[in-house]
Structure formats: structure tokens, C-alpha cells
């Protein structure tokens, strides 16, 4: 691993150029708290260094607001921007392998699910999405049984009571990645209620990410798919 | 209402003798934080004052531990004690009317459900109980559809993720009273997770009581049944 | 219940068309976090599917801001909008039955009480409202005794210390639904203080909904009235 | 004030000998977290230094458990111990002046009220106590109107919902000192609910001390009475 | 007290007309969460009803923003407005009696101290104010010793660490009313840090109000002064 | 899936017999909050129903204390008990496939790691464990690089600051399951600090379970391995 | 010390003129919550009083927004303003001695690091800054080993998981001052997660300041350097 | 630094043998959560590996309870145990250099101060201790001015309101390390109140450690002294 420690210094940042080689996901620029110019500088540094998968020219950023999206497009007219997901990228998206099922409890959870989907796309993983299957009409959950059986992993996005992952994890043998969202008000406490629900899910096999962290859920699901697909399984223990 | 304000002073307490007449539920002795002797004194005061329904000789206490139960039985050998529910009473239990369905998510929620049931019994309300129908095996919830249709109100008792009321409230048109329990550990935060889940339930029609408050849920459900059964409906508005 | 599981897929949502039949309250569109167009799309889908009571053409939305209200009116000029309550509806309001008493502790709690009232109206339940009866002048509470006696259920809306439901529940035998509001500052913690007060009310029979959740309180109160009025009481237990 | 800064060093503590002269209340030994021997050492140091009112031989301790009480009595057989209040003192109690009304919401709040009363006694202030006047039977509060009119200040001790001070402060023109107690469970959060209620009381004129801090409430009430009784009023401003 | 229960119904509010007679402080209009018109309506109702001290024509409002202040002045050109304190009043201010010392820890605590001062003025109580005596330069606190000796009560306003009341209460025998402010950032948690500091002050005799609640502190201090000055002291207990 | 809904009613519980078939993990008995007898009853019910993998006679329980372990052994002398992990099982452990790497930050995290390992064993998954590689000596983390490369997934168990998963996830492309533990004191808040750290890990690909929830982490890791090993990959999307 | 207690009264503030002499850092104006005019008044007062080091004409302010910066420059055209750090100063910056290493975990932590650096500059202490060395690429931390060896103290600025100080403190024998930042979202809780991580760092020798408090970290680091450089070491104990 | 990475594997732990060489403080065994045998095993491993300062035979443990202390003494009769501090060590204590002043606010803070002192002793640093100088008698703080002037750094230990560091930091130019303790009750929240107070101290130059973390404060103070005394100051920056 010693050789996978290159750093590209662009003044405001020390870019972790070999992160894709080490972890399977290229370094991403977190645009929140950065000026549009800073985000562009970081993206350019990643492109120059070949920080994409396989050393390719690919770079991306999350939490991209409108001014930053405009700055990215001004610099790279061919850049892709998913406005719902607030993700921008420069370079070719990889061909998708595998299939991750992304479920939302309600329509208002859509932007976070979009971030999951865009992260999967940028990671070269296939994605199937079914929206608005909240447990208040639990038959809608039961209706996705075939989708559950035909995927590598499930990502469940839910706000308010965050109850959906508990039900889903009782219906499938695939890993369930739960994303609490800040949808709701009052005792939802900006996603805290859903977060606690998911952490205490009565069905085991639920793993949780930060509130509204569609990016993290996407990266984790991509790790699962890539582990599955690489073919180089470690030998069994003992 | 002026006339319903009698108070019985027993030194350590000023008993609200007319509470049954005003609110439908006789004053109850909260035994936590009281010595066994104090609880016995309060019960005796209520019996002497005729603070039971219809001015009868009935008195009860909640959160009764073993020493207090023994003290009650020593004074009134005929007293009833529900050890699981930690409720003791002296006097005749009223004949039950109506039917409240009490559901638990898991076996560990049993003591709280017992408190609900004992409160209903002391309030003269019928109770049907189905245990261990948590959403990790959601078909167990679907299996109680007939029970849901045949009751006046539903009380749902659940700890950990507290997700059960959300599912139940989407399956019935009866009022759902949700009781979070302190079952669980870590991020369950002694029932806080379940409490927040229930307060933010994505299905409307869920009403919530304090953590482990089976007594409060029972009183509320009894109010519903008594309102239904009294026959003296107010005239429609307008 | 198997037959009550129709879903209308409108792209951004899977509408729970039979919710009125199952639960007594038609599916509602939660407009917060949706664009005006998305809300209109969902309302149209509900109207098309006959998701109102009795399969009628009725649809509604909560948390409707001004742009969404304008979009609704542009599409359906006959739509009703209650601006204080932030509720919009399309279709005929049902004739009200029963009577729910709605109390507020202060004038600033008015918008939440308006949401209760509008929800009751959309649910076909009668409503009587008395404002500004906070416990700082407790005689104002005592003055509503006749109203308490003449209703099916009480909804109490209060912010700051949230003390009003404790007093009211000691004065009546009807169910008390308590709605904490975010009125107040500092240690009110956006309604948390009132929420905790209501959950720990020393008078039993108080049931609580989420902070500012007038909609949930209205639905719950409507369930009580509809259970009362349906006439098809279940047989007594045992 | 320069002269009021004597310190008595007893090894484990630097006793603030002149505190009575400066603040009206002699330094008190907080026995929690101290061994019985340490508490006795501190009391002896205060007695030796003449740290009581007027330089007299008086010393006291709060949060005194049984072993510490025994150690105090072993050293000073004439010592007074109020077991309910967990307060011990050595020396003559001063003659009481003034009258502070101490109210409790329930019997379980008794130990904290006992600490208030014992603190007042040790401070030379008269005390009238009325227990169990919780707002669930609000007529019990109204019944103390005469007591409210005949006191210098009111101390209200309440756990659970902590609603009593709001009602009391709307009925009197005297200062209301509110003491939240840890009575209750679940969302009472060991007194936090009552604390927040009292801090956000809708009736102004409520001042709050720490949870279960009967000592602090007693000292504050004593300050009010002593200010009233000293006769040396400052001249009016302007 | 029965006679002091008049209520003036102005549609949006039920004004507690006799509050001045009962509690010494006239009902105040809490303008936050009200429209300018609603505040004006309430003020007019109070003036019409003679809800001021002694039945006089006096009315006031707190948390008054600029539009509401303008509306008040448009209706009553003679109205007083203290912009720093965000308090408006109509009618004659009473002549001040007594003297309350108001201290601030820093200049940024000024607006809350202004609310204290304006409340005292509207309550007919004299006020002396010394600003910026925070404990980081503790000699500044020691310098107010003469002021402490010449007042009826002290109000201490402090944000950030909220440490000032602990020091002040060790220097005086007057009651110390502590007002935590939301000054600060990060772990100040909008005043929570200062609030907890004050509640746990190691010097007894500190009483606490809600964060930024200068109004409540002023009312409480006024109660002390009025109790002192009324001359009609209750007889000593026993 | 309709056929996988068998329930075994053992009085105190409705056992979800087909959970292994549906989700890959047999229903487990959560022994906390149950009497030893209740746990034995549930285990017997699961054995009778053939609720193990492939319908076999296997049953297990978590959070098993000493009395419960004794009761299990009394009933089934051949039962296995892992005391560190507090897990008991009856029936044959399946042969392990795959390899999950379990890391701990410190020796005190050992019991939780034991629960992970025992859960993996009961799930038929291989496990390699390396203890005490906390980031205070970060070279210890770097030393496990070969282990990271030779596993299917990583489980990281850490208390106090919970910083280990952030470092590990930057060194590997495998999924990192993070388990916060309640090791620590003060601001560790019984595991809350570690939980928040893990949820906000600056390295993506970290998924989190409840505090001290070794069982949940083990089940999730087993799901990953079983998905990998089943061979029946779903077809790629699109 | 008696002589170091001068106070300059400028109406809105009582400036602690001798603070530089007492504590090594001149009194600073906290501009948040002050009007631009108030900040200018305070700065002028400090300049007039000679409140800078050695009694010189130096004054400064933190949390300076754009309008305040403009007001300062209008009054003193020669004033320095560091916009990233939000610090303004009037007078000569002292020559720097010593060297403090300032590390950031990410680019978004830059503004807080700028406040550290500007505080050091105003305190006459040298500063070396290395940005973006977060633990997700831990080799970036290892790469600063030489910098760690060549400094007097280290300040580590980090948001999100706040894990960097734990790693750094295990690599150096210098004091590590940790500054949590509010960078992040969801369970980062505006810096709370990073704060708790740092307080529970598994590597000892980490000291923590308030969230985003670059100023406090800079002052503390300056104290260390000045203690080192003054040469007047106290004699060894014993 | 590459050479300073030796690890001693003792089965239950991977001891960081070179930590003293890297960080100045030898690895310490955290005995909480370990069995007495595990602690002995770790100590033996550290002794064998020469993990003390300069490669010497020295090892120590914190949070040592009575059974563990007995086990340590059984193995090494010459071991030192400070029972108040709960620290045990084997090997020669180094000769002390420098002087750290340790202050406590009250006698109950003594055990934590003992942990600071024992940590300093084990680190070869001199310590002067002054107890019980809380701000309720602020002249006691002023009385330590000479001690403040004659030390290298100050450690302030305080519970309840935690106000002492704010006052001390305004009186000295030395670094102030603040240790909040869990002394207090109610809103002290087991040390949280003191922690927040110290983090928001209005006097800059205060650095904070975890609640009750005397060990961490001692290590940090030792780092300061050792940096001062090593003589090998880095060259000034620029």
C-alpha cells in the first residue's frame, strides 16, 4: 500500500490522488463550505493528477449549489450536473455493473435518493429506484418483494419516523443500508428521530449512515457490489 | 362542577375524592417515591371517602413494588395485586364493557402491556391482548386485521424502534394509542427512540403517552370507551 | 382487507388510494419538501383515483405555502384554501357530525389550532373553538366547563410551558388530545418544553402528538368521533 | 467588604468564614462526595471559627446520608438532624421571622419540600407548608388563596409536568420560587421536563432553581424575607 | 379572589383584565407570533378594559419588532417604544419606587438588560444599571460592592459561560436573579451553557429565568420591591 | 413470499419461524427483559418449529446473563454458551464460509467484538480478529493492511472517540461496519460520542450500528458474505 | 496584582485596560452582537488607554463582519483586516517569536484556522500552517512528522468526525490544542460530534476549545510560547 | 519516526511500546472495563518491553479499583498505588521538574485533582495543590495570585457551575487547563454543565479536557513542562 500515497497539493487542499486505487472510490470534493472557485480548483487538481478509477481523468463534487454548478460548467462545458442530487462530475461515467435497489418512504425523500443514485452512477454501479413505499400503506412495501429478490443490496431512504428499514430488513436477506432524512418537523428534530429509529431497528441487518447522507450510502453500496463483482474472493477462513 | 371539589386530607396528601365523578377515573395512588405506609394511608383515605366510581369503596395504586404490595395485602387481605403490572387495588373490579385491543411488539414489552390491561380492568373496560407482533415479521401484524376491526380502540406497546404504531394506524380506522417502552439499549436511550418514532409516525391518528406509561394509555382508552358507551352523545355542532 | 390495497402511480409518488376506506381518512399530500407542481400532480392523482371518502373526488394537502396555494387555485379555481391552517382541498367538504372542542392557551397558538379545525372540517367532524384560556389566568379555563361537557373530545393547543392539558384533563371525562406548539423561546426549545410537559402530565387521559401537528390531532379526534357515530359497536369483550 | 474575607484552612477545605456576614447565609457543608469524617472536619472548622450568623457557633450540612448523620451525632450529641431533608446542624436554630409558603404538587415531592423547610428554619425564617395541591385537581390550588395572601414569598415544589408554578403565579403578587423535582419517569428525564416547564412558565414572576435543590430555594426565600425585615431599605432611585 | 376574574374578549384573545389586581403586573401582550394588527387589537382591549395598575388605562407589549412598533405609534402617537428592549407601552409610566441593580457581563448582553430595565420602568420600580463587569476581569465585579449594598435586589444578565451570578451571589445578601442570554456560539448552545451554569451556581441564593427573558426577570424583581414597599407585611409565623 | 409467514405461538411470543428462510438469519431470542424461563420457552419453540437454517433444529439467544445461561444448559446440556459474547445456542453451528475481519480499538471493546464473532459463527461465517489497534498508535492500524486485503468485509469496534473506522475506511475498498461501544466516561456519554464520530466519518463507506450492538454488526456482515457466496447474482441493471 | 486593575469606561463597556499586563493578551472586542459603532467605540477606548502589550497603542476585534470592517477602516485607514479570519486590528503587529503548527483536516476548516493564525500574529507568535491532512488519507498526517518535531505546540482544526487530534497526539510530544469546527451536517450537529470526539480522544495530551473558537486556541497557544520564551522559569518544585 | 513503532502483543492487547519515546508519556493501561488479570498482563507486558521513559522498566494504570490494586500488589509488592487517584504504578517514579499549580473549586473535586497530581508525579513533573477556592468566596481565588505567578501552568478542577477557570484565566498569563468534574446533581448533568461553562469561558486561554479526566489534564500539563524544560527550542518562524 506504500505506493498508494500520492498527494496533489493545489494550495487550498492536499488531494488524496490514490484514493480510488486504495478504496475503490475516487476522492470527492465536498463543495459545502467552499467557494465555487475552490471547488473548481480541486476538481482541476484531481483531473490533472488522474485521480479517477484506473488513473483516469474523472473528478466529482457533492453538495453542489447553483453558483458552483455554474462555475463547473463554465470551466468544463461537458461536465454533468444532477441538480436534484447536487452532484457534479467531469469525465466519463463508468459502465454500471450490479444492481442496487433504492427505496424511499415518501416523495420528499427524493433529493437524498437522487444523491444515492448519482453516487452509484459515478461509481459504476447499476441502480433501480422505487419511490413512496412508506409503511402507512404497508402493502406498498410488500409489493416490492420481487425487486428485493433481484438486487445485490438495498438502500432505504426515509424521514419522519424512519420505520421503513425495519420492515424491509424482515423481508429480504440482502444488506439493508438505511439513510435517515431531515424530512419532518417538531420531534423529527431534523432527522434525529429517523436516525434513532434506524439504529434501533428491531430487524437485524440494518446499517445506518448520517442524516441526508445519500453519498455515503451510495459509496457503501458500491463497495458491496464491487466486492461481489471483483471475483477475487479471499479464501475461506480456516 | 363546583360541587365536585371535595378533598380528603390525610396528612401526607390531599386526596381528590371527586375525581372519578369529574373525569371518569378514580384518583390513583402513585406508589413510586412513597413508603409502603404512605401508600396504605392514601388507599385507606380513598376508601373512607368513597372515591371509587359512583362513590363506591374502591381504591388503587400503580408502580407498586413488592414491599408495598405486601403492606397492602397485610391491611386488606382481599386486595388484588397484578405483579406484572405493579398495580394493586382494594374493592370490587367493575364489570367490563367495550373492547380495547392491546398489541405488543415483543415479549419484553409485556410488563407495560400488563399495566395497560390492569388499568382497563380497574376502569371497567374489556381488553383483548395479542403479543409479539413486531414489524420485523410484518405478516404477524397483518394477521391481526380481524382484531383491529372488532375493537373500540387500539393500544400499541413497543420499544426499540417503536415502529409498530405506524404500521397499525395504516390498517385501521380506530384510534391508535402508542406506548413507547424502555426496552432496548444504546441509541434506544431508555425509550427516547421509540417515543420520537411514535410522535413522528408517518400514519396519522397515532396518539402518544409517556415512556412505559401503560397506566396513562389505559386511562385514555377507557375514556374513549366510556364516551362511546354512555349514550349521551352531545348534539352535532351546527 | 386484501382488496383495499390499490396504489396509483403518478411517477413521483405511489398514492395510497384506499386509505380512506381502510383508515377513515383519505391520503393527504404533505406539501412541505415538494414543489408546487409535485403537490398539484399528487392532488390530481388522488382526484382521478377517487381517493376521497366513499370513493369520491376529494383530495387535500397540508403545509401549503403561498406558491403552492396559488398553483392549486390555478389548476382548480374552485379549490378551498385555509391560509391560517396552510391546508388546501379540492372537492366537496363532507357535512360535519359530532363536536370536538379546540382550546388554545394563547393567541400565538392560533395557526396550529386552525390546522386542527381545518382537518376536522375536511374529515366531516364539527368543531367548537375557544382561544386564549392559558393557565396564567386559570379562571379562564374553569369558564369552559360547559363546553367540556358538551363535546365528544377535546384538543388542547399550547406552547411555552404547555401546562393547559394537565388542568383540562382534571376537569373532564372526555379524551384530551394535546398539541405542543413551537411558541416561545429559549428553554422552550422550539416546543420541546411543551412536549415534555404534556407527556408527563400529572392528570391521566392526556394523549400527545408531535409539535405543531394540528393535522395529526385533527385526524385522531376525527377517528374518535367516527368510532362513536358509526353505530356498529363491537360486542363487549367476554 | 475587604474585612469580610477570612478563610479557615482545615486541610481538606478553605472555609469561607465570613459568608454569613457577607451574604446572610452561613457557609454550608455539601456532604455529597465527602466522607463522614470530612463533613465532621468541616463542621468543626466552622464552629471553631464562629462562622454562624453574628459570628455565633452554628454550622450545618446538606445532603447528609445516614452514616454521615451518625458521625455528626457521635461528635455532637446535641446536633439536630432532619432525616427527610437530609440536613444536619450544630448550634442553636435562630428564632423565625416572616412567613414563606411552601407548596408541593404531590406527596412524592415531600423530601425536597422538607429541605426547603429545614433551610428556612436554619436561616431563621418562618415556614407554612401545604402538600399535594397538584393541578390535576385545580380546586386544590384555588383553596390556598388565603395562604398566598398571607406570606412573604411562595416556594412551589413539583415534579412530573411541573405545571403548578404557572397556575400559582397567576393567583398572587408575591414572588414564586419554583423547585423542579426528579419525581416521575420516562420523558420526565429526572426532572428536566419540570425544569423546562418552570423556565417557560406562561405566568411571569416565576424564578427557578436546580432540580431537587430545596436548599437553594430556601436560601433565596430567606434572602427575600431578610431584605424585607432588615428595615434598612435603600433610598428610592432618582 | 373570586371577583378578580374579569375577561375581555377581543375575538383573537380573552384578555385577563384583573391580572394587575391579582398579581401586581398588568397583563402584557406577547407580540412574537402575532401580526401588528393583533397586537394593536390586544392593546386596545386592555386600554378599554382598564387593565392597568389601579384599573388605569395602561397597556404594554414585549418582543415588539419594527412593524409592530410602527403600528402601535400609528394608533397611539403618544405611545412609548424602547427599541433596544423591544417593549412598547400606551399610557402613563408609574413613578418608580425602590432600586434594582442590573448588571451585565458584556456589552452584547445589552438588549436583554434593556428589557429588564423597561419592564421595571413599566412596573414602577427604580433601576440602576452597570454594564460589562464580566469575571474575566474580576476586579470589575468587586468594584460594584457599593451598588450591591444599596439595592433591593440584583438582576445579573450574562451569556457565554454565565459565571457572573455565582460571583455576585457570594458578595451580597440580596436576592440575585440570573438571566442567561443567547450571546455566544458553539457550545454556548444559544444560551443553554449559561442557563446550566446559573442553575448549578455554587453560591446559593441565585434564581434563574428563561434564556433572554429580561421581561420575566423584571417582573420578578418588581414583585420583590412591591412586597417590600407595600408595608402590609404578614404577621410572623408562630 | 406468502409461504414464508409461519408463526409459532408459544404463549408469551409469536415466533417468526420462517425468518431464516426470508432473511438468511434465524429468529434470535433477545434475552434482556425476559426471565430465564421465558428464554428457554422461546428457544424450545424455535427448535420444535425447525426455525434454523434450512429448517433445521437450531436456536439461539443474545444478551444472555448467567442465570439464563444456566437455565439453557439445564434444559439442553449440549448447548453452547459464549460468556464473553453473552450468546447461547442449541444445535449444530454451521460450517463457516468467507472471512470477516473484526478489529477493536482497545481491549475494553472485547466483549462487543466477542458478540460479533459469536454471531458470525452462528451464521456460518468465518472471522479473523485483531485487537487493540487504536489510532493513538496509528502504526498499529497500518500493520493490518494485509488482513484488510484478505477479507470480505471489516467490522470495527471502538469506544471513546470512535476514530478508528475513519482511518480504516481510507485504507481499504471493503465495506466497513462500525460498532460504537459504551467504553469511556464523561463526554463519551455511554457511547454517544463514538456513535456520532462514526456517523460523520470523513471517509465514506462506513456504515454504523447501534452502540454495543455486536449482534447487528455480525448479522449485517453475514448478509454480505452470504450474498457474495450464494453465486446467484442478479443480472446487471440495464 | 492590585495595580493591574484599571478600567476604561466608554459608556457601553468597561474596558479591562490592564488585561495584557495581567494575562499576556490584550483585551479583545467581541464584535458579534455589537453594532459597528459600538465596536469602533470600544477599539478607540482601548487605543486611548494604551491597552496593548507594554502599554502600547494596539487594539483588535474578532467576529468582524463586512460592515464592521468598513467602519473600522473608515475610522483608521491604516487598520488591518483579515477577512477570512474576521479579525481587525489597529496598531503595529508585534514581531513573531516561536512557532505554532496549525493543521486542518479539510479545506472547509480554513476560516477557523485563519482565525487561529491571525490571533497568533496579533499575539506576536510565529505560525506554520498545513491544510487538508484529514485521516481518510492517513499518510497525509504521517507526512507532517517533521513539522511536528519543529514546533512549540500544535493546533489541530477539524470538523465532521474530528478524529485528527487523536492521531496527531499519538505522533508528537508537543501539546495538542484541538478546535472542533461546525463543518458537516446531520449528526455532526453543528460541531458537537467533533467536540465530543476531541474530548474523548484516546490519545492523552489533547486539550479542547469551543466549536469554531480559533481565537481561544490562538490565545492558548500564544500563552504556551510566551511561557517558553520569557526565560523567567519558576524554580522547580521541591 | 519509522523506528518508533514497536508493538508488544500480549494476546489481549497490542502494547504501544514506543509511545514514551514518541509522545513523552508512556503507554498507560486503562483499567476500567478490564479484569484485574488483564490489567496485570498489560502491565507485565509494558515492563518486559521497557516501555517506560528512556526505555526503562516503568508501567502504570489508571481507573484502578480495589480488586485490581490488590492484584497489582500481589504481583509486584513494591508497586505504588494512589487510592484517591485510582492510579497504580510499577517502577521508579522520575524526579520532578517544573511546577504545575492544581486548584480545586471544592473538596468534593479532590479525587480528580488527585488523579492530576499522580499523573504529574508519574510524568516527572512537580505539582503544587491548593484546594477549595471556589468563586462563591472569590477572595479565596485572589489569594492564590502568588502561586499563579510561580508556576509553569495551571490546572483548575471544578464541578457544579465550573466557573473557576474563567476567573483564574483573567488573573494569569499561564496556560489554564480546565477539568470539569461530575460533582453536583440535577442540571449539573454529571458534569455537562461544568464542561459547557469551561468551553465557553469568557476569558481566553482556557483549554478543556473530558469530565473527570484528571489523567488527560496531567499529561497535557506535563507536555507543557517538558517542552519548556527540554531546552531544544525550535528556531523562530521566519
The per-residue pLDDT for range H168-199, each reduced to its tens digit, is 999 999 999 999 999 999 999 999 999 999 99
Report the residue from C7, C32, C212 with minimal CB separation from A140.
C7
Share the mean pLDDT of chain E.
92
* D window 152-211, beta carbon within 8 A of E: 152-153, 169-175, 177, 195, 199-200, 203-210
The answer to whether residue C158 scores a pLDDT higher than 90 is yes
Per-residue confidence (pLDDT) for residue C3, from 0 to 100: 65
What residues in C contact D195, CB-CB < 8 Å? 187
- The pLDDT tens digits of the residues spanning F76-87 come to 999 999 999 999
Q: Tell me how far apart the alpha carbons of residues B106 and F32 are, in angstroms, rounded to a whole number.
A: 11
Q: Is B40 on the interface with D (CB under 8 A)?
A: no
Share the mean pLDDT of chain B.
92
pLDDT band for B232, please (50, 70, 90 cuts).
very low
Query: Which of A148-162, E14-28, F219-233 has the weakest average pLDDT?
Result: F219-233
Which chains border F (3 or more CB–CB pairs < 8 Å)?
A: A, B, G, H
Per-residue confidence (pLDDT) for residue F106, from 0 to 100: 93
* D window 76-105, beta carbon within 8 A of E: 96-99
The answer to whether residue F33 scores a pLDDT higher than 50 is yes
Name the burial class of residue F154, with classes exposed (0-12), middle (13-18) and buried (19+) by CB atoms within 10 angstroms of its CB: buried
ipTM of the complex: 0.93
Answer yes or no: are the C-beta atoms of H140 and D7 closer than 8 Å.
Answer: yes
Interface A:C, Cβ pairs < 8 A: 55
Share the mean pLDDT of chain F.
92
The answer to whether residue E141 scores a pLDDT higher than 70 is yes
The answer to whether residue C95 scores a pLDDT higher than 50 is yes
Question: Are the beta carbons of C23 and B205 separated by less than 8 Å?
Answer: yes
Q: How many CA atoms lie within 13 A of G37 on its CB side?
A: 2
The answer to whether residue F4 scores a pLDDT higher than 90 is no
Per-residue confidence (pLDDT) for residue H238, from 0 to 100: 39
Q: Is F213 on the interface with B (CB under 8 A)?
A: yes
Per-residue confidence (pLDDT) for residue F230, from 0 to 100: 67
The answer to whether residue A236 scores a pLDDT higher than 50 is no
Which chains border H (3 or more CB–CB pairs < 8 Å)?
A: D, E, F, G
Please, which residues have CB within 8 angstroms of residue E34's CB and are 6 or more apart in sequence? Answer: C107, C108, E42, E68
pLDDT band for E3, please (50, 70, 90 cuts).
low
Q: State the smallest CA–CA distance between residue G150 and chain E in angstroms.
A: 31
Share the mean pLDDT of chain A.
92
The answer to whether residue G100 scores a pLDDT higher than 60 is yes
Q: Do chains C and F touch (3 or more CB pairs under 8 A)?
A: no
In this structure, how many other beta carbons lie within 10 angstroms of the beta carbon of residue D95? Answer: 9
What residues in E contact D237, CB-CB < 8 Å? 96, 98-99, 126-128
Residue A165 in grid coordinates: 428499514
Query: For H207-219, what is the mean pLDDT?
Result: 97
Q: Do chains F and G touch (3 or more CB pairs under 8 A)?
A: yes
Query: For A116-143, what is the mean pLDDT?
Result: 94
The answer to whether residue C12 scores a pLDDT higher than 80 is yes
Query: For C2-30, what is the mean pLDDT?
Result: 87
Question: Are the beta carbons of H14 and F133 separated by less than 8 Å?
Answer: yes
The answer to whether residue E236 scores a pLDDT higher than 60 is no
Query: For E184-213, what is the mean pLDDT?
Result: 97
> In order of start, what are the domains of chain C with their CATH numbers?
7-92 (no CATH), 97-226 (3.40.50.1970)
Answer yes or no: are the C-beta atoms of E113 and E131 closer than 8 Å.
Answer: yes
Q: Tell me how far apart the alpha carbons of residues B179 and B160 are, in angstroms, rounded to a whole number.
A: 12
Angle at F120 between CA F115 and CA F124, to 5 degrees: 150
The answer to whether residue D231 scores a pLDDT higher than 70 is no
Percent of chain C beyond pLDDT 90?
81
Q: Tell me how far apart the alpha carbons of residues D9 and H65 are, in angstroms, rounded to a whole number.
A: 30
Per-residue confidence (pLDDT) for residue F1, from 0 to 100: 43
Q: Tell me how far apart the alpha carbons of residues E202 and D23 are, in angstroms, rounded to a whole number.
A: 13
Per-residue confidence (pLDDT) for residue H1, from 0 to 100: 43
- The pLDDT tens digits of the residues spanning C16-28 come to 999 998 898 899 9
Report the chain E residue with the minimal C-alpha distance to residue G183: E186
Query: For B154-182, what is the mean pLDDT?
Result: 97
**b vs e for D1-30, b when ≥16 Cβ sit within 10 Å of the residue's Cβ?**
eeebbbbbebebbbbbbbbbbbbbbbbbbb
Answer yes or no: are the C-beta atoms of B170 and A137 closer than 8 Å.
Answer: yes
Q: Is F107 on the interface with H (CB under 8 A)?
A: yes
- The pLDDT tens digits of the residues spanning H119-153 come to 999 999 999 999 999 999 999 999 998 999 899 99
The answer to whether residue A1 scores a pLDDT higher than 80 is no
CA nearest G221: which of G71, G118, G120, G87? G120
- The pLDDT tens digits of the residues spanning F48-65 come to 999 998 889 999 999 999
Query: For E196-201, what is the mean pLDDT?
Result: 98
Report the residue from C134, C163, C186 with minimal CB separation from D197.
C163
Cell 441502480, located at residue = A127
Question: Are the beta carbons of A16 and G133 separated by less than 8 Å?
Answer: no
Q: Is G143 on the interface with A (CB under 8 A)?
A: yes
The better pLDDT of the pair C80, B228 is held by C80
Question: Are the beta carbons of B13 and D183 separated by less than 8 Å?
Answer: no
The answer to whether residue G235 scores a pLDDT higher than 60 is no
Per-residue confidence (pLDDT) for residue D4, from 0 to 100: 76
Question: Are the beta carbons of F14 and B140 separated by less than 8 Å?
Answer: yes
Question: Are the beta carbons of E201 and H170 separated by less than 8 Å?
Answer: no
Q: Tell me how far apart the alpha carbons of residues B140 and D93 are, in angstroms, rounded to a whole number.
A: 68
- The pLDDT tens digits of the residues spanning D5-49 come to 788 999 889 999 999 888 988 999 999 989 999 999 999 999 999
Amino acid at each position: 500500500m506504500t505506493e498508494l500515497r500520492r498527494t496533489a497539493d493545489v494550495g487550498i487542499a492536499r488531494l488524496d490522488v490514490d484514493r480510488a486505487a486504495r478504496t475503490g472510490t475516487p476522492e470527492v470534493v465536498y463543495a459545502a463550505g467552499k467557494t465555487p472557485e475552490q471547488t473548481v480548483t480541486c476538481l482541476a487538481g484531481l483531473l490533472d493528477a488522474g485521480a479517477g478509477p484506473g488513473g483516469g481523468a474523472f473528478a466529482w463534487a457533492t453538495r453542489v449549489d447553483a453558483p458552483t454548478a455554474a462555475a463547473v460548467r463554465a470551466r468544463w462545458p461537458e461536465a454533468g450536473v444532477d441538480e436534484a442530487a447536487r452532484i457534479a462530475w467531469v469525465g466519463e461515467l463508468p459502465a454500471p455493473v450490479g444492481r442496487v435497489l433504492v427505496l424511499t418512504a415518501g416523495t420528499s425523500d427524493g433529493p437524498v435518493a437522487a444523491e444515492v443514485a448519482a453516487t452509484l452512477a459515478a461509481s459504476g454501479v447499476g441502480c433501480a429506484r422505487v419511490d413512496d413505499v412508506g409503511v402507512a400503506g404497508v402493502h406498498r412495501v410488500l409489493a416490492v418483494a420481487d425487486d428485493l429478490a433481484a438486487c445485490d443490496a438495498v438502500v432505504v431512504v426515509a424521514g419522519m419516523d424512519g420505520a421503513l428499514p425495519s420492515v424491509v430488513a424482515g423481508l429480504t436477506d440482502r444488506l439493508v443500508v438505511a439513510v435517515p432524512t431531515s424530512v419532518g418537523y417538531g420531534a423529527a428534530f431534523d432527522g434525529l428521530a429517523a436516525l434513532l429509529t434506524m439504529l434501533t431497528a428491531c430487524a437485524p441487518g440494518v446499517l445506518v449512515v448520517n442524516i441526508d447522507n445519500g453519498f455515503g450510502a451510495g459509496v457503501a453500496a458500491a463497495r458491496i457490489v464491487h466486492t461481489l463483482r471483483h471475483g477475487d474472493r479471499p479464501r475461506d477462513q480456516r
